């Protein structure tokens, strides 16, 4: 008769994993980081910024962009990017200005408030990454990042997520 406290001869049980779980886990990690970022941005004076706004600000860039250029980078329609730019303008993150090189073009430029939000976002991302390193361990996090770079080579920092999701 065996004692219930004796180790079993069986292999250790391992949860069954399915292929569909990997993208959901990766998305869950992404979503938790982005949600934490936006909660902290709200606490620090940027309560109206949304994830799509962050992508739009990146697509506009520090040199500015036309609405058409930003829409192409985001993979969304001219109407959709126009609505996003209008909202960012209302919130004080961008403004429209003439292009010094070509008066026919209207550039969207990031305002000082927008640049502040981007700089603050970078600091918050660093804080989140540091917390992940403390939780997982620095070596495991670095390994995870290296593995993701291996599996997602090329254009790692694509901005067309809103268009890809159908936004």
Half-sphere exposure of 15 (CA within 13 A, CB side): 3
The answer to whether position 43 is within a domain reads yes
What CATH number is attached to the domain comprising 35?
1.10.10.10
Decide which of 153 and 79 is more confident. Answer: 79
Percent of the chain with pLDDT over 70: 83
Domain holding 110, by residue range, is 23-149
The answer to whether position 112 is within a domain reads yes
Decide which of 12 and 151 is more confident. Answer: 151
Using 50, 70 and 90 to split pLDDT, how confident is the model at 105? confident
- Angle at which helix 21-43 crosses helix 112-136, to 10 degrees, equals 130
Kindly write down the DSSP assignment for every residue of 48-107, as one continuous string: T--HHHHHHHHHH-TT-B-HHHHHHHHT--HHHHHHHHHHHHHTTSEEEEE-SS-TT-EE
Let me know: does 118 contact 110? Beta carbons within 8 Å. Answer: yes
Write down the pLDDT at residue 97.
86
Write down the pLDDT at residue 139.
98
The answer to whether position 28 is within a domain reads yes
The answer to whether position 64 is within a domain reads yes
Write down the pLDDT at residue 154.
75
For the segment 12-25, the average pLDDT, to the nearest whole number, is 84
Q: How many domains, the chain?
A: 1
The answer to whether position 104 is within a domain reads yes
Q: Output the CA angle 117-112-95, nearest 5 degrees.
A: 105
The answer to whether position 6 is within a domain reads no
The answer to whether position 133 is within a domain reads yes
The answer to whether position 2 is within a domain reads no
Alpha carbon distance 155, 53 (integer Å): 20
Decide which of 100 and 147 is more confident. Answer: 147
pLDDT, tens digit, 9 for 90 and up, residues 37-81: 999 999 999 999 999 999 999 999 999 999 999 999 998 888 999
């Amino acid at each position: 008769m065996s004692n219930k406290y004796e180790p079993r001869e069986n292999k250790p049980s391992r949860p069954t994993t399915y292929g569909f779980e990997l993208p959901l886990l990766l998305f869950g990690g992404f979503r938790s980081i982005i949600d934490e970022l936006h909660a902290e941005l709200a606490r620090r004076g940027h309560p109206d910024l949304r994830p799509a706004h962050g992508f739009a600000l990146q697509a506009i860039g520090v040199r500015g962009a036309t609405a058409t250029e930003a829409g192409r980078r985001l993979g969304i329609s001219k109407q959709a990017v126009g609505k996003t730019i209008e909202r960012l303008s209302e919130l004080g993150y961008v403004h429209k200005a003439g292009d010094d090189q070509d008066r026919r073009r209207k550039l969207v430029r990031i305002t000082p408030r927008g640049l502040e939000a981007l700089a603050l976002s970078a600091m918050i991302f660093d804080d989140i990454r540091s917390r992940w390193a403390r939780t997982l361990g620095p070596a495991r996090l670095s390994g995870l990042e290296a593995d993701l770079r291996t599996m997602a080579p090329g254009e790692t920092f694509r901005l067309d997520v809103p268009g890809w999701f159908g936004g």
